[in-house]
Amino acid sequence: MVDSSGCPVRRVAMISVHTSPLDQPGTGDAGGLNVYVVETAKRLGARGVEVEIFTRRTSASLAEVVTLAPNVTVRHIDAGPYEGLDKDDLPGQLCAFAAGVMRLVASVPEGHYDLVHSHYWLSGQVGWLAADRWNVPLVHTMHTMSKVKNRALAEGDRPEPKGREIGEEQVVKVASWLVANTDTEARELVDLYDADPQRVRVVPPGVDLEVLHPSDQADARARLGLPVDAEVLLFVGRIQPLKAPDVLVRAAAEMIAADPSRRERLVVAVLGGPSGSGREKPRALQALARELGVADVVQFVPPQIRPELARWFVAADLTVVPSHSESFGLVAIESMACGTPVVAAKVGGLPTAIGDAGVLVDSHDPAVWATELSTLLDDEPRRKMLRDKAIERAQGFSWEATTDKLFEVYRHACEAEVSQAATVVDFSTVPTAVVP
Protein backbone atom coordinates (compact mmCIF):
# COMPACT_ATOMS: atom_id res chain seq x y z
CA MET A 1 0.00 0.00 0.00
CA VAL A 2 1.29 3.47 -0.88
CA ASP A 3 -0.22 6.44 0.93
CA SER A 4 -0.58 10.00 -0.34
CA SER A 5 2.96 10.91 0.77
CA GLY A 6 4.40 8.23 -1.50
CA CYS A 7 5.90 6.22 1.37
CA PRO A 8 5.40 2.49 0.66
CA VAL A 9 4.22 0.01 3.29
CA ARG A 10 3.80 -3.13 1.26
CA ARG A 11 4.89 -6.02 3.47
CA VAL A 12 4.96 -6.33 7.25
CA ALA A 13 6.54 -9.17 9.23
CA MET A 14 4.63 -9.60 12.50
CA ILE A 15 6.22 -11.72 15.21
CA SER A 16 4.27 -13.45 17.98
CA VAL A 17 6.53 -16.07 19.54
CA HIS A 18 4.66 -17.29 22.59
CA THR A 19 1.08 -17.46 21.32
CA SER A 20 -0.41 -18.04 17.90
CA PRO A 21 -3.09 -15.87 16.30
CA LEU A 22 -4.83 -19.15 15.50
CA ASP A 23 -5.25 -20.01 19.21
CA GLN A 24 -8.60 -19.51 20.94
CA PRO A 25 -8.39 -16.50 23.31
CA GLY A 26 -9.21 -17.20 26.94
CA THR A 27 -6.97 -20.10 27.81
CA GLY A 28 -3.27 -20.91 27.95
CA ASP A 29 -1.35 -17.80 26.90
CA ALA A 30 -3.96 -16.67 24.37
CA GLY A 31 -5.78 -13.45 25.17
CA GLY A 32 -6.09 -9.86 24.05
CA LEU A 33 -2.73 -10.01 22.24
CA ASN A 34 -4.11 -12.71 19.92
CA VAL A 35 -7.19 -10.65 19.17
CA TYR A 36 -5.05 -7.56 18.50
CA VAL A 37 -2.76 -9.38 16.07
CA VAL A 38 -5.61 -11.05 14.18
CA GLU A 39 -7.81 -7.98 13.87
CA THR A 40 -5.09 -5.54 12.83
CA ALA A 41 -3.52 -8.03 10.41
CA LYS A 42 -6.87 -8.71 8.73
CA ARG A 43 -7.55 -5.02 8.25
CA LEU A 44 -4.06 -4.30 7.00
CA GLY A 45 -4.52 -7.16 4.54
CA ALA A 46 -7.82 -5.68 3.37
CA ARG A 47 -5.93 -2.46 2.58
CA GLY A 48 -3.47 -4.29 0.35
CA VAL A 49 -0.64 -4.74 2.86
CA GLU A 50 0.86 -8.24 2.87
CA VAL A 51 1.21 -9.43 6.47
CA GLU A 52 3.24 -12.49 7.44
CA ILE A 53 2.87 -13.59 11.07
CA PHE A 54 5.69 -15.73 12.48
CA THR A 55 4.76 -17.87 15.48
CA ARG A 56 5.99 -21.03 17.21
CA ARG A 57 4.60 -24.37 16.08
CA THR A 58 2.77 -26.03 19.00
CA SER A 59 1.51 -29.15 17.21
CA ALA A 60 2.92 -31.49 14.58
CA SER A 61 -0.42 -31.27 12.77
CA LEU A 62 -0.04 -27.55 12.05
CA ALA A 63 0.84 -26.71 8.45
CA GLU A 64 3.98 -24.69 7.87
CA VAL A 65 1.93 -21.91 6.26
CA VAL A 66 -1.73 -21.10 7.01
CA THR A 67 -3.78 -18.44 5.25
CA LEU A 68 -5.57 -16.44 7.94
CA ALA A 69 -7.24 -13.90 5.63
CA PRO A 70 -6.61 -12.32 2.23
CA ASN A 71 -2.99 -11.05 2.22
CA VAL A 72 -2.42 -12.51 5.73
CA THR A 73 -0.41 -15.70 6.31
CA VAL A 74 0.71 -17.43 9.49
CA ARG A 75 4.14 -19.11 9.30
CA HIS A 76 4.92 -21.77 11.91
CA ILE A 77 8.48 -22.04 13.19
CA ASP A 78 9.91 -25.11 14.90
CA ALA A 79 11.53 -24.09 18.20
CA GLY A 80 11.56 -26.56 21.06
CA PRO A 81 9.01 -29.32 21.76
CA TYR A 82 5.57 -28.79 20.26
CA GLU A 83 3.67 -29.25 23.50
CA GLY A 84 4.27 -28.86 27.22
CA LEU A 85 6.60 -25.88 26.94
CA ASP A 86 5.73 -23.16 29.45
CA LYS A 87 6.06 -19.49 28.50
CA ASP A 88 8.79 -19.11 31.13
CA ASP A 89 10.85 -21.69 29.20
CA LEU A 90 10.63 -19.84 25.90
CA PRO A 91 13.65 -17.52 26.37
CA GLY A 92 15.78 -20.63 25.89
CA GLN A 93 14.15 -21.19 22.48
CA LEU A 94 14.55 -17.67 21.09
CA CYS A 95 17.77 -18.55 19.26
CA ALA A 96 16.08 -21.55 17.60
CA PHE A 97 13.06 -19.45 16.71
CA ALA A 98 15.15 -16.63 15.24
CA ALA A 99 17.19 -19.13 13.24
CA GLY A 100 13.98 -20.67 11.93
CA VAL A 101 12.71 -17.27 10.79
CA MET A 102 16.01 -16.50 9.07
CA ARG A 103 16.02 -19.88 7.27
CA LEU A 104 12.42 -19.50 6.18
CA VAL A 105 12.98 -16.15 4.51
CA ALA A 106 16.57 -16.72 3.34
CA SER A 107 15.47 -16.72 -0.29
CA VAL A 108 13.50 -13.47 -0.26
CA PRO A 109 15.19 -10.47 -1.90
CA GLU A 110 16.58 -7.51 0.03
CA GLY A 111 13.83 -5.03 0.81
CA HIS A 112 11.10 -7.71 0.80
CA TYR A 113 9.78 -6.53 4.18
CA ASP A 114 9.23 -2.86 4.91
CA LEU A 115 9.23 -3.28 8.67
CA VAL A 116 8.94 -5.73 11.56
CA HIS A 117 6.16 -5.43 14.17
CA SER A 118 6.82 -7.54 17.26
CA HIS A 119 4.28 -8.29 19.99
CA TYR A 120 5.38 -8.95 23.62
CA TRP A 121 8.98 -8.89 24.80
CA LEU A 122 9.91 -12.39 23.59
CA SER A 123 8.92 -11.41 20.07
CA GLY A 124 10.79 -8.14 20.49
CA GLN A 125 14.03 -10.05 21.03
CA VAL A 126 13.54 -11.89 17.74
CA GLY A 127 12.25 -8.77 16.02
CA TRP A 128 15.42 -6.94 17.06
CA LEU A 129 17.56 -9.48 15.20
CA ALA A 130 15.24 -9.70 12.17
CA ALA A 131 14.94 -5.93 11.73
CA ASP A 132 18.70 -5.54 12.03
CA ARG A 133 19.33 -8.35 9.53
CA TRP A 134 16.81 -6.97 7.02
CA ASN A 135 17.81 -3.33 7.66
CA VAL A 136 14.22 -2.24 8.34
CA PRO A 137 12.49 -0.46 11.27
CA LEU A 138 11.32 -2.38 14.34
CA VAL A 139 7.89 -1.41 15.68
CA HIS A 140 7.17 -3.03 19.05
CA THR A 141 4.05 -3.41 21.21
CA MET A 142 4.65 -4.57 24.79
CA HIS A 143 1.05 -5.59 25.63
CA THR A 144 2.16 -6.20 29.23
CA MET A 145 5.29 -5.18 31.15
CA SER A 146 7.02 -7.01 33.97
CA LYS A 147 7.76 -3.88 36.03
CA VAL A 148 4.08 -2.96 35.97
CA LYS A 149 2.86 -6.48 36.76
CA ASN A 150 5.31 -6.93 39.62
CA ARG A 151 4.04 -3.76 41.29
CA ALA A 152 0.51 -5.19 41.40
CA LEU A 153 0.95 -8.90 42.18
CA ALA A 154 -1.99 -10.89 43.44
CA GLU A 155 -1.52 -12.60 46.80
CA GLY A 156 0.44 -15.81 46.29
CA ASP A 157 1.29 -15.07 42.67
CA ARG A 158 4.93 -15.25 41.61
CA PRO A 159 6.73 -12.21 40.21
CA GLU A 160 7.96 -11.96 36.64
CA PRO A 161 11.63 -13.00 36.38
CA LYS A 162 14.49 -10.50 36.23
CA GLY A 163 15.46 -11.85 32.82
CA ARG A 164 12.19 -10.62 31.36
CA GLU A 165 12.74 -7.15 32.80
CA ILE A 166 16.21 -6.97 31.23
CA GLY A 167 14.86 -8.27 27.93
CA GLU A 168 12.14 -5.61 27.90
CA GLU A 169 14.68 -2.87 28.59
CA GLN A 170 16.74 -4.06 25.63
CA VAL A 171 13.77 -4.05 23.27
CA VAL A 172 12.70 -0.57 24.40
CA LYS A 173 16.21 0.68 23.69
CA VAL A 174 16.51 -0.71 20.16
CA ALA A 175 12.94 -0.38 18.83
CA SER A 176 12.41 2.32 16.20
CA TRP A 177 8.90 2.97 17.53
CA LEU A 178 6.96 1.76 20.57
CA VAL A 179 3.18 1.36 20.40
CA ALA A 180 1.30 1.80 23.70
CA ASN A 181 -2.35 0.97 24.28
CA THR A 182 -3.05 4.00 26.48
CA ASP A 183 -1.50 7.24 27.74
CA THR A 184 -0.91 5.43 31.04
CA GLU A 185 1.13 2.73 29.32
CA ALA A 186 3.06 5.36 27.37
CA ARG A 187 4.02 7.07 30.65
CA GLU A 188 5.06 3.72 32.12
CA LEU A 189 7.35 3.09 29.14
CA VAL A 190 9.00 6.46 29.72
CA ASP A 191 9.09 6.42 33.53
CA LEU A 192 9.93 2.75 34.14
CA TYR A 193 11.92 1.87 31.01
CA ASP A 194 13.45 5.22 30.09
CA ALA A 195 11.83 5.12 26.63
CA ASP A 196 12.30 8.15 24.39
CA PRO A 197 8.90 9.92 24.45
CA GLN A 198 9.40 10.92 20.82
CA ARG A 199 9.41 7.25 19.84
CA VAL A 200 6.24 6.27 21.72
CA ARG A 201 2.84 6.41 20.04
CA VAL A 202 -0.54 5.63 21.64
CA VAL A 203 -2.77 3.37 19.55
CA PRO A 204 -5.82 2.13 21.49
CA PRO A 205 -7.07 -1.39 20.65
CA GLY A 206 -10.49 -1.80 19.10
CA VAL A 207 -13.55 -3.99 19.05
CA ASP A 208 -15.31 -5.84 16.23
CA LEU A 209 -18.55 -3.85 16.19
CA GLU A 210 -20.06 -6.13 13.54
CA VAL A 211 -19.89 -9.16 15.83
CA LEU A 212 -20.13 -7.49 19.24
CA HIS A 213 -23.25 -5.36 19.44
CA PRO A 214 -26.46 -5.09 21.50
CA SER A 215 -29.26 -7.60 20.92
CA ASP A 216 -32.18 -9.13 22.79
CA GLN A 217 -31.18 -10.26 26.30
CA ALA A 218 -34.11 -12.65 26.78
CA ASP A 219 -33.27 -14.44 23.53
CA ALA A 220 -29.59 -14.67 24.49
CA ARG A 221 -30.47 -16.17 27.86
CA ALA A 222 -32.86 -18.67 26.30
CA ARG A 223 -30.15 -19.84 23.90
CA LEU A 224 -27.66 -20.22 26.77
CA GLY A 225 -30.11 -21.94 29.10
CA LEU A 226 -30.14 -19.09 31.64
CA PRO A 227 -33.30 -18.07 33.53
CA VAL A 228 -34.80 -14.94 32.03
CA ASP A 229 -35.14 -13.33 35.47
CA ALA A 230 -31.65 -14.24 36.74
CA GLU A 231 -29.05 -11.74 37.95
CA VAL A 232 -26.08 -12.66 35.76
CA LEU A 233 -22.51 -11.59 36.59
CA LEU A 234 -19.96 -12.44 33.91
CA PHE A 235 -16.19 -12.91 34.04
CA VAL A 236 -14.33 -13.38 30.74
CA GLY A 237 -10.62 -14.10 30.62
CA ARG A 238 -7.79 -16.41 31.48
CA ILE A 239 -8.12 -17.99 34.90
CA GLN A 240 -5.03 -16.93 36.79
CA PRO A 241 -4.29 -14.83 39.90
CA LEU A 242 -3.46 -11.75 37.79
CA LYS A 243 -7.03 -11.63 36.43
CA ALA A 244 -8.47 -12.11 39.95
CA PRO A 245 -11.57 -14.21 39.20
CA ASP A 246 -11.40 -15.29 42.85
CA VAL A 247 -12.44 -11.75 43.82
CA LEU A 248 -15.73 -12.25 41.97
CA VAL A 249 -16.36 -15.68 43.52
CA ARG A 250 -15.65 -14.32 47.00
CA ALA A 251 -17.85 -11.29 46.32
CA ALA A 252 -20.70 -13.61 45.28
CA ALA A 253 -20.41 -15.39 48.64
CA GLU A 254 -20.53 -12.03 50.43
CA MET A 255 -23.61 -11.01 48.43
CA ILE A 256 -25.48 -14.17 49.37
CA ALA A 257 -24.43 -13.88 53.01
CA ALA A 258 -25.86 -10.35 53.09
CA ASP A 259 -29.08 -11.39 51.29
CA PRO A 260 -29.72 -15.17 51.30
CA SER A 261 -32.68 -14.75 48.90
CA ARG A 262 -30.18 -13.70 46.22
CA ARG A 263 -29.01 -17.31 45.89
CA GLU A 264 -32.22 -18.16 44.02
CA ARG A 265 -31.53 -15.69 41.20
CA LEU A 266 -27.76 -15.12 41.11
CA VAL A 267 -25.67 -16.67 38.33
CA VAL A 268 -21.90 -16.13 38.19
CA ALA A 269 -20.56 -17.22 34.80
CA VAL A 270 -16.78 -17.68 34.47
CA LEU A 271 -15.66 -17.99 30.83
CA GLY A 272 -12.05 -19.00 30.32
CA GLY A 273 -9.37 -21.55 31.00
CA PRO A 274 -6.32 -21.87 33.24
CA SER A 275 -3.34 -19.72 32.33
CA GLY A 276 0.00 -18.62 33.75
CA SER A 277 0.49 -19.65 37.36
CA GLY A 278 -3.17 -20.69 37.36
CA ARG A 279 -2.17 -23.84 35.48
CA GLU A 280 -0.39 -25.10 38.58
CA LYS A 281 -3.78 -25.57 40.26
CA PRO A 282 -6.26 -25.65 37.35
CA ARG A 283 -9.27 -26.50 39.57
CA ALA A 284 -8.50 -24.04 42.36
CA LEU A 285 -11.37 -21.68 41.50
CA GLN A 286 -13.90 -24.53 41.50
CA ALA A 287 -12.53 -25.63 44.87
CA LEU A 288 -12.89 -22.09 46.20
CA ALA A 289 -16.52 -21.93 45.07
CA ARG A 290 -17.25 -25.19 46.93
CA GLU A 291 -15.38 -23.99 50.00
CA LEU A 292 -17.41 -20.76 50.10
CA GLY A 293 -20.68 -22.58 49.52
CA VAL A 294 -21.48 -20.93 46.17
CA ALA A 295 -20.71 -23.79 43.77
CA ASP A 296 -24.42 -23.89 42.92
CA VAL A 297 -24.40 -20.34 41.54
CA VAL A 298 -21.04 -20.39 39.74
CA GLN A 299 -20.92 -21.78 36.20
CA PHE A 300 -17.59 -22.56 34.54
CA VAL A 301 -17.68 -22.23 30.76
CA PRO A 302 -14.77 -22.92 28.37
CA PRO A 303 -13.49 -20.12 26.10
CA GLN A 304 -15.97 -19.19 23.39
CA ILE A 305 -15.67 -18.12 19.76
CA ARG A 306 -16.60 -14.47 19.12
CA PRO A 307 -20.31 -14.90 18.20
CA GLU A 308 -20.92 -17.06 21.28
CA LEU A 309 -18.94 -14.66 23.44
CA ALA A 310 -21.17 -11.84 22.20
CA ARG A 311 -24.21 -13.86 23.30
CA TRP A 312 -22.79 -14.21 26.82
CA PHE A 313 -22.08 -10.49 27.03
CA VAL A 314 -25.65 -9.69 25.97
CA ALA A 315 -27.07 -12.21 28.45
CA ALA A 316 -25.21 -10.69 31.42
CA ASP A 317 -26.41 -7.87 33.63
CA LEU A 318 -22.84 -6.87 34.47
CA THR A 319 -19.38 -7.86 33.28
CA VAL A 320 -16.84 -7.97 36.10
CA VAL A 321 -13.13 -7.22 35.45
CA PRO A 322 -11.32 -7.40 38.83
CA SER A 323 -7.76 -7.71 37.42
CA HIS A 324 -4.70 -6.65 39.38
CA SER A 325 -3.11 -5.33 36.17
CA GLU A 326 -4.39 -4.63 32.64
CA SER A 327 -2.56 -2.82 29.86
CA PHE A 328 -5.95 -1.97 28.35
CA GLY A 329 -8.76 -4.37 29.21
CA LEU A 330 -10.19 -5.45 25.86
CA VAL A 331 -12.93 -7.48 27.56
CA ALA A 332 -14.36 -4.27 29.02
CA ILE A 333 -14.76 -2.62 25.62
CA GLU A 334 -16.20 -5.82 24.11
CA SER A 335 -18.81 -5.99 26.87
CA MET A 336 -19.68 -2.31 26.46
CA ALA A 337 -20.12 -2.79 22.71
CA CYS A 338 -22.79 -5.38 23.55
CA GLY A 339 -24.53 -2.93 25.88
CA THR A 340 -23.49 -4.61 29.12
CA PRO A 341 -22.12 -2.28 31.82
CA VAL A 342 -18.72 -3.09 33.34
CA VAL A 343 -17.57 -3.09 36.95
CA ALA A 344 -13.77 -3.08 36.86
CA ALA A 345 -10.70 -2.59 39.00
CA LYS A 346 -9.23 0.89 38.78
CA VAL A 347 -5.91 -0.31 37.35
CA GLY A 348 -3.82 0.11 34.20
CA GLY A 349 -5.77 0.95 31.07
CA LEU A 350 -9.21 0.11 32.45
CA PRO A 351 -10.06 3.72 33.43
CA THR A 352 -9.21 4.76 29.86
CA ALA A 353 -11.30 1.99 28.35
CA ILE A 354 -14.34 2.53 30.58
CA GLY A 355 -14.40 6.26 31.32
CA ASP A 356 -17.71 7.18 32.93
CA ALA A 357 -19.55 4.36 31.17
CA GLY A 358 -19.00 1.87 33.99
CA VAL A 359 -17.97 1.53 37.63
CA LEU A 360 -14.33 1.53 38.73
CA VAL A 361 -13.43 -0.08 42.06
CA ASP A 362 -10.25 1.09 43.78
CA SER A 363 -9.86 -2.07 45.85
CA HIS A 364 -9.63 -5.85 45.61
CA ASP A 365 -11.53 -6.45 48.84
CA PRO A 366 -14.38 -8.88 48.01
CA ALA A 367 -16.66 -7.10 50.51
CA VAL A 368 -16.22 -3.82 48.60
CA TRP A 369 -16.97 -5.59 45.32
CA ALA A 370 -20.02 -7.27 46.83
CA THR A 371 -21.42 -3.89 47.84
CA GLU A 372 -20.76 -2.33 44.42
CA LEU A 373 -22.27 -5.28 42.52
CA SER A 374 -25.33 -5.60 44.77
CA THR A 375 -26.02 -1.87 44.63
CA LEU A 376 -25.85 -1.82 40.86
CA LEU A 377 -27.97 -4.96 40.42
CA ASP A 378 -30.64 -3.35 42.59
CA ASP A 379 -30.60 -0.10 40.61
CA GLU A 380 -32.12 -0.79 37.19
CA PRO A 381 -32.34 2.90 36.11
CA ARG A 382 -28.61 3.34 36.77
CA ARG A 383 -27.81 0.19 34.81
CA LYS A 384 -29.89 1.49 31.92
CA MET A 385 -28.00 4.79 32.02
CA LEU A 386 -24.64 2.98 32.04
CA ARG A 387 -25.81 0.70 29.23
CA ASP A 388 -26.53 3.68 26.99
CA LYS A 389 -23.18 5.28 27.84
CA ALA A 390 -21.35 2.00 27.27
CA ILE A 391 -22.79 1.53 23.78
CA GLU A 392 -21.92 5.08 22.82
CA ARG A 393 -18.37 4.88 24.20
CA ALA A 394 -17.61 1.56 22.50
CA GLN A 395 -18.36 3.09 19.11
CA GLY A 396 -15.14 5.09 19.44
CA PHE A 397 -13.04 1.92 19.66
CA SER A 398 -13.20 0.25 16.26
CA TRP A 399 -10.45 -1.91 14.79
CA GLU A 400 -10.59 0.27 11.69
CA ALA A 401 -9.60 3.28 13.82
CA THR A 402 -6.85 1.23 15.45
CA THR A 403 -5.50 0.18 12.07
CA ASP A 404 -5.59 3.77 10.80
CA LYS A 405 -3.36 4.87 13.68
CA LEU A 406 -1.13 1.82 13.44
CA PHE A 407 -0.58 2.42 9.74
CA GLU A 408 0.45 5.98 10.54
CA VAL A 409 3.13 4.59 12.86
CA TYR A 410 4.28 2.26 10.08
CA ARG A 411 4.40 5.14 7.60
CA HIS A 412 6.45 7.33 9.92
CA ALA A 413 8.80 4.42 10.65
CA CYS A 414 9.42 3.87 6.94
CA GLU A 415 9.83 7.58 6.25
CA ALA A 416 12.36 7.91 9.07
CA GLU A 417 14.29 4.91 7.73
CA VAL A 418 14.42 6.39 4.22
CA SER A 419 15.44 9.80 5.59
CA GLN A 420 18.18 8.25 7.71
CA ALA A 421 19.51 6.28 4.74
CA ALA A 422 19.59 9.44 2.63
CA THR A 423 21.94 11.13 5.12
CA VAL A 424 24.61 8.44 4.86
CA VAL A 425 27.75 9.94 3.34
CA ASP A 426 28.90 8.46 0.04
CA PHE A 427 32.64 8.30 0.77
CA SER A 428 33.45 7.64 -2.89
CA THR A 429 32.72 11.30 -3.60
CA VAL A 430 34.72 12.71 -0.68
CA PRO A 431 38.20 14.02 -1.70
CA THR A 432 40.97 11.99 -0.23
CA ALA A 433 43.58 13.90 1.73
CA VAL A 434 47.09 13.71 0.33
CA VAL A 435 49.62 12.75 2.94
CA PRO A 436 52.93 14.47 2.26
User: 139-192, pLDDT tens digit by residue?
Assistant: 999 999 999 999 988 877 889 999 999 999 999 999 999 999 999 999 999 999
C-alpha 242: how far from its chain's center?
Answer: 14
pLDDT of 367 higher than 90: yes
| Residue 84 known to bind ligand | no
Give the CATH number of domain 11-206+399-422. 3.40.50.2000
Is 151 annotated in a binding site? The answer is: no
Confirm if 11 and 114 have CB atoms less than 8 A apart.
yes
Mean pLDDT of the 21-45 span: 85
Banded pLDDT at 46 (limits 50, 70, 90): very high
Mean pLDDT of the residues in the chain: 90
Kindly write down the DSSP assignment for every residue of 241-268, as one continuous string.
GGG-HHHHHHHHHHHHHH-GGGGGTEEE
- How confident is residue 64, by pLDDT bands cut at 50, 70 and 90? very high
Tell me if 11-206+399-422 shares its fold with 217-396.
Answer: yes
Q: Which amino acid is at 156?
A: G
d(CA 173, CA 92): 21
For residue 65, CA distances in Å to 24, 35, 61, 73, 424 come to: 18, 19, 12, 7, 38
**The pLDDT value given to residue 434:** 36
Q: Considering only CA atoms, which of 125, 83, 76 is closest in space to residue 101?
A: 76
377 known ligand binder: no
229 is in an annotated binding site: no
The reply, when asked if residue 278 is annotated as ligand binding, is: no
Model confidence band, residue 14 (pLDDT cutoffs 50, 70, 90): very high
- For the four alpha carbons of 240, 241, 245 and 250, in that order, the dihedral sign comes to positive
pLDDT at 374 over 70: yes
In this prediction, residue 311 has a pLDDT band, given cuts at 50, 70 and 90, of: very high
CATH of domain 217-396: 3.40.50.2000
Instruction: Please give the pLDDT value at position 280.
Output: 67
Is 132 annotated as contributing to ligand binding?
Answer: no
Is pLDDT above 50 for 427?
Answer: no
Q: Output 311 or 417, whichever has higher pLDDT.
A: 311
Q: Is 433 annotated as a binding-site member? A: no
**Strand intervals (E) in 151-278:** 177-180, 200-202, 231-236, 266-271
Provide the pLDDT for residue 424: 44
Domain segments of the chain: what residues? 11-206+399-422, 217-396
User: Does the pLDDT value for residue 429 go beyond 50?
Assistant: no
pLDDT score of 128: 97
Structure confidence at residue 86 (pLDDT): 77
Check whether 347 has a pLDDT greater than 80. yes
269 is in an annotated binding site: no
Q: Is 334 annotated as a binding residue?
A: yes
Are 253 and 290 within 8 A, CB to CB?
Answer: no
Candidate from 67-81, 382-396, 421-435 with smallest mean pLDDT: 421-435
Confidence band for 28, pLDDT divided at 50, 70 and 90: low
Ligand-binding site membership of 93 (annotated): no
Share of the chain above pLDDT 70, in %: 92
pLDDT band at 19 (very low <50, low <70, confident <90, very high): confident
Residue 62 marked as a ligand binder: no
Task: Please tell me whether 238 is known to bind a ligand.
Answer: yes
Q: Decide if pLDDT at 431 tops 50.
A: no
pLDDT computed for residue 425 by the predictor: 43
Check pLDDT > 60 for residue 3.
Answer: no
pLDDT band at 208 (very low <50, low <70, confident <90, very high): very high
42: annotated binding-site residue?
no
User: What is the average pLDDT across 102-120?
Assistant: 92
Q: Is 316 annotated as a binding residue?
A: yes
Which pLDDT does position 235 carry in this prediction?
A: 98
Percent of the chain topping pLDDT 90: 76
24 is in an annotated binding site: yes
Mean pLDDT of 186-204: 97
Predicted TM-score of the model (pTM) = 0.88
